Every structure is written in structure tokens, then in C-alpha cells.
Amino acid sequence: MGQHENNMNIQISISHQTLTLFDNDTQLKHYSISTAKNGLGENMDSECTPYGSHIISEKIGSGAEVNSVFVGRVATGEIYQSALRELHPQRDWILTRILWLSGTEEGRNKGHKDGREENVSVDSHDRYIYLHGTPEDIAMGQPGSRGCIRMRNKDIIELFDLIEVGTELVINDD
């Protein structure tokens, strides 16, 4: 299960748009989420949510205020509000906390996909795939992101505080 004393693990269901946190086989938490509008896939720049086994490689934003805006994984000092969205209508809002994923399956969601004309990167970490907070008016329970897994701000804070770097996470289509 991992190097940690706890046996926390996360299961993400694409078809149900849910994230479930387990301690061994005991369900601790269940959240509604939003995965990629473009569906499932691992290729760089696809804006798809990657399949398979991952770990939480970094936790970013500990103690940040709810609705704190992150750009390039750095808090900008801004607090999200609708007026800010009007100033930056194309921004993909990454708020409150970031849990950065690293794939663990070489050639599937880690490193490069082999056997193509070009060596396509499929690395979830290099693609900046996160679990992160999002504005409260963004719909959960349906795909809508650019590849990341969006969560309600209160939910990402709760999850962030419950898990450690190294927590295993599996993204499935069931």
C-alpha cells in the first residue's frame, strides 16, 4: 500500500464523476467531482483526464484562504470572485488547494508512449494534472475541466488535510 502507516487510497470514477477516499477497504469520504470535458486520455496537450494508477506527489496551498487563486502552482494573492472572472474569462480557475498527481504506469501515464512516429509524453506530472478547488458555480457530477479533477473548495480542503504525499489514487471508467 505505501510507505505510510495509514492505508489511505483514492478511487476516482469517471462514469459516476465521484472521488472516494478509503482507509484500507473502509470508505471514509465520497465527493462529487468534475473531470475532463474531453474525456479520458493521457497524451500531452489533450486536455483529457488520465486513466490508471497515480500517487499524490505534491500538496500545495496548505493554509491558503478559501478561493485563493493559484497560477503556475503559486498563490497570486487574489481571492476568486465573479468580478475577477470577468477580467480573466479564459482562465481555468485553480483555487484553494492543489494535489499534484504523478502517474505510476510507465508508458501509460508516466514518461512517454512508445511505438509512435514521435515519442508522445503521457506523463501526468508533466501535464500538470491536479485535484484542485474550483469556483462554487462550476457544476460537479459532470465533465467540464481541462484534464484536472475539480472539487468543491470545502471538499478539497477536507481531502488535503486527510491524506499525505504518496497516497495512491486510481482513475477508472467504472
Is the predicted pLDDT of residue 4 greater than 60, yes or no? no
Residue 59 included in any domain:
yes
- Mean of per-residue pLDDT scores for the chain: 93
In a domain, 3, yes or no: no
Residue 94 reports pLDDT greater than 60: yes
Specify the pLDDT at position 6. 67
Mean pLDDT of 123-142: 96
User: Residue 1: is its pLDDT beyond 70?
Assistant: no
Residue 140 located in a structural domain: yes
Query: What is the pLDDT at residue 118?
Result: 65
Which structural domain, as residue segments, surrounds residue 64?
8-172
Residue 1 lies inside a defined structural domain of this protein: no
Q: What is the pTM of this model?
A: 0.93
Instruction: Report, in angstroms and rounded to the nearest whole number, the Rg of the chain calculated over CA atoms.
Output: 16
Query: What is the DSSP secondary-structure string of the chain?
Result: --SSSS-EEEEEETTTTEEEEEETTEEEEEEE-B-BTT-B--STTS--BPPEEEEEEEEE-TTPPTTEEEETTEEEEEE--HHHHHH-TT---EEEEEEEEEE-SBTTTBSEE-SSSS-EE--TTTTT-EEEE--TTSPSSS--BSSSEEE-HHHHHHHHHH--TT-EEEEE--
Average pLDDT over residues 85-104: 94
Domain count along the chain: 1
Check which CATH number belongs to the domain holding 39 and give it: 2.40.440.10
Mean pLDDT across 40-54: 95
Higher pLDDT, 33 or 114: 33
Residue 158's pLDDT band (cuts 50, 70, 90): very high
Q: In the structure, what pLDDT confidence band is assigned to residue 120 with cuts at 50, 70 and 90?
A: confident
**Residue 2 belongs to some domain of the structure:** no
